[in-house]
Amino acid sequence: MVRLTVMYPQTADSTFDLDYYLTKHMPLARERLSTSGLTATHIDEGLGGGAPGEPAPYTVICTFTFETMDGLQGAMAAHGGELMGDIPNFTNVQPTLQVSQVRG
């Protein structure tokens, strides 16, 4: 299995509409990507950093797990533009993306 992790940095001037993200963006993403072997999604809302009182480095971290790398690549080729184009509707930051092999 492979996983796409999408991390939205939290900065002094960043904005993030969590309601839009949860009710519009993620349902759209799940609908589009489910035809390409998407097996799971997880959404983490940042609450804090490593030390007490430290702000979270990311507002939201979301993961998309796929059966295969081909499925992930096909999904992003087919729908990545639409999903990335929706980002300005809920945040003013660009996410950091990472593709990983799931090992456990």
Mean pLDDT, the chain, rounded, equals 96
Q: Is 9 exposed, middle or buried (0-12, 13-18, 19+ CB in 10 A)?
A: middle
Residue 58 and residue 9 in contact, taking contact as beta carbons nearer than 8 Å: yes
List, for residues 57-68, the tens digit of each pLDDT value.
999 999 999 999
Range 31-60 average pLDDT: 95
